Structure 1
Amino acid sequence: MPSTVASSRRTTQRLRRAEPLATVLPVRPWVVAPSGPVGDTAQRRARVRRALWRLALQGIEPTIAPDVWRKDGYLAGPDPARVRALVEALNADHAFVWAARGGYGAMRLLPALDHLLKVRDKAPLFLGFSDLTAVFPLLVRKGFRCVHGPVLSQVSDLVESGPAGFTSLTKVLKSHPIPPLTFSTPDPWFGDEIEGPLWGGNLTLCAALCGTPYSPDYSGAILFLEDVGEPAYRLDRMLTQLELSGVLQAVQAVLVGDPGVRGSEKKAVEQRLHLIRERWGIPVLTGLPIGHQRRNACLEVGRTVKLSATPLKAGKTNITIRWV
């Protein structure tokens, strides 16, 4: 009998400890596809399935909007359908609106979004990167919080830990504050701490928005950039576009993620970045853990940040991004 009572007590204690788990509701970000097709190939469908499985293990169960699976050539459906889906999602009570994939097509929606979206005091957070760079400045102007971070289809490839991995993403999806980000760079830092709004994202889209009403005000900003699949000469051309449009003269610093090039192409890009550093007298710092590979840290676009530097051995420097 005593052993039975003791066993019963242990069982009760286990049940009591388990009770709170039963009351935790899953996190349900709303997934939209403003850009390229999501399920048009077996490989893309498999990436989404793996992402959903990985997220479910952490209590995150995205709701896939019905139009996500549409296809219209290289777009995830006709422009009106993608506009409608995104506007409905942003005007609803979702805590998070999450892009399923990049690709191309978001900038085609800008005039309609500008017309249909009203300025909001309390708005959902929009998460994405790559082609979604196009909508960030407009959404921030409308009162939305925008986070440059992994799209749904990238989740299955992310490393597990670290500030740019899967664990960090899940914390953001569960409404934890975005933590400060520290990364190491071999590039020179000069001057004191730098404070300014954080703007940028995909270099192709930043360059494409130059000269349009949908480009942000880069005055005093900290610019961050990444890209994928572009040869060095095209990256050079887009950096030159930023230069000719006055962006690089206006910003206080440039942070560079994965440019998507390797070998001699990477060396050519590094030389171009060095020229920007010397010509405009600003820090140009590589090593930011963002991009299309296995690391993609979350950065809130349009928010004021402070950059500080800590010298390391072997000529490297730790750069820390803190939210103000």
Structure 2
Amino acid sequence: MRCSLRKPRALHKGAGIQIVEPSSPFEREALSHGLSLLRDMGLNPLYSERIFQKMGYLAGADVLRAKELVEAFSGDDVYGIIPARGGYGAMRVLEYLEAHRHSIKPHLFMGFSDITALHMFFLVRYGLVTIHGTNAIFMAKLDRESLERTKKALFGIGWEETFLYGGLTPIVKGVARGRVVAGNLSLLCALFGTPYEPPLEGAILVIEEVDEPLYRIDRMLMQISLQRGFGGVRGVCFGDMGVVSDEQEALVSLLEQFAVKWGKPCVFGFPIGHKSRNFPVPEGVMATLDADIGVMRVLECPYEE
């Protein structure tokens, strides 16, 4: 991970925020509520008809989705960028982004789930602080506090409180300090062994997942455990892991097994995931995890000052 980070400017009232779609297709109607919420915040959502393209399980051809991202990040009339949804496909555009990364400007970028691949690209290859947070369509599902924190994260309002996370359940106690690396477990694992693999050394990992059976969660956590550099991880926060209620007890037992094996400060119940509680989390900035009292606090302003 770069020691010197590029940081985006917080958005202002009336700012243009570009809707892109680097992953899966969606129905036009699904986006309407998210657009209304962005407008209610005082932003000006922009998009082209390209985002509605469909090519099987992808939102159009790889080169078109990638070109859309590069154009959004290289433009001067856009201040923020948010994907319509996740799904699958973001990894397929990374090589194109790599070839055009010198055109990228440090715009504010928010998204989650499959968008984890883009967060890791921007952090590892460009040193850009991005925000792990809702996609545009998912905004309609957010609870009140998640939506309010999302607004504050976009506008850079009270970042110390916006990026303070309490009420976490300690698994292994202790205090850790490191740089935040947040994302979807499947995508983090899929990126290992690539030029965009998650930077583990000195990291506080914040992990979420959805629709994966317990044995696959077990396998992916085992993969992380065996990854070169995992010894440098400072702490781990588990968000919502997307299992059915009948498996929740077994999930907690599984996470406890790994946490004890790792011997690092570790908590459960971090407010990210595919349910209504999905707080924004800045990538790459310094934070402390106090697993004695169940609190993570971001220490570093994630915006250009």
Q: When the two structures are superposed, what TM-score results if normalisation uses the length of structure 1? A: 0.82
1:216 corresponding residue in structure 2 = 198
Task: Give a deviation string over 1:58-107, Cα, whole Å, max 9, x none.
Answer: 32231113311111110111001011000111111222111110000001
Tell me which residue corresponds to 1:305: 287
Answer yes or no: is the 8 Å Cα contact 2:287–2:296 preserved in 1: no
1:85 aligns with 2:86: no
Q: What's the secondary structure of 1:307's corresponding residue? A: strand
Q: In the aligned structure 2, how far is the partner of 1:84 from the partner of 1:56?
A: 26
Alpha-carbon spacing, 1:226–1:61, altered in 2? closer, same or farther (3 Å)? same
Q: Larger RCO: Structure 1 or Structure 2 (Cα < 8 Å, ≥ 6 residues apart)?
A: 2
2-side partners of 1:213 and 1:25: how far apart? 37
The Cα shift of 1:284 comes to 2.1
- CA distance in 1 between counterparts of 2:229 and 2:258 reads 11
Contact 2:22–2:59 (CA<8 Å) still a contact in 1? Answer: yes
Alpha carbons 1:256, 1:288 under 8 Å: kept: yes
Pick aligned residue for 2:188 from 206, 209, 229: 206
Residues 129-152 of structure 1, C-alpha deviations (whole Å, 9 max, x = no match): 000101212212314331100000
Whole-Å separation in 1 of the counterparts to 2:129 and 2:264: 28
Aligned mates of 1:228, 1:107 — CA distance in 2: 18
Residue of structure 1 equivalent to 2:117: 134
Gap regions ≥5 residues in structure 2: 1-11, 301-305
Letter matched to residue 145 of structure 1 = V
Counterpart among 266, 270, 292 of residue 252 in structure 2 = 270
The equivalent of 1:148 in structure 2 is 132
Q: Which residue of 2 aligns with 1:172?
A: 153
Structure 1 unaligned blocks of 5 or more:
1-23, 40-44, 312-316
1:108 — aligned with what?
A: 92
Could you tell me how far apart the structure 2 residues matched to 1:218 and 1:55 are?
A: 34
The structure 2 residue matched to 1:296, chosen from 267, 273, 278, is 278
Distance 1:300 1:186, change over 3 A: closer
1:207–1:238 CA contact under 8 A, matched in 2? yes
State which structure, 1 or 2, has the greater radius of gyration over its C-alpha atoms: 1
Give the secondary-structure state (helix, strand or coil) at the position aligned to 1:29: strand
Matches within 5 A, 1:222-237: 222-237=204-219
1:318 maps onto 2:294 in alignment: yes
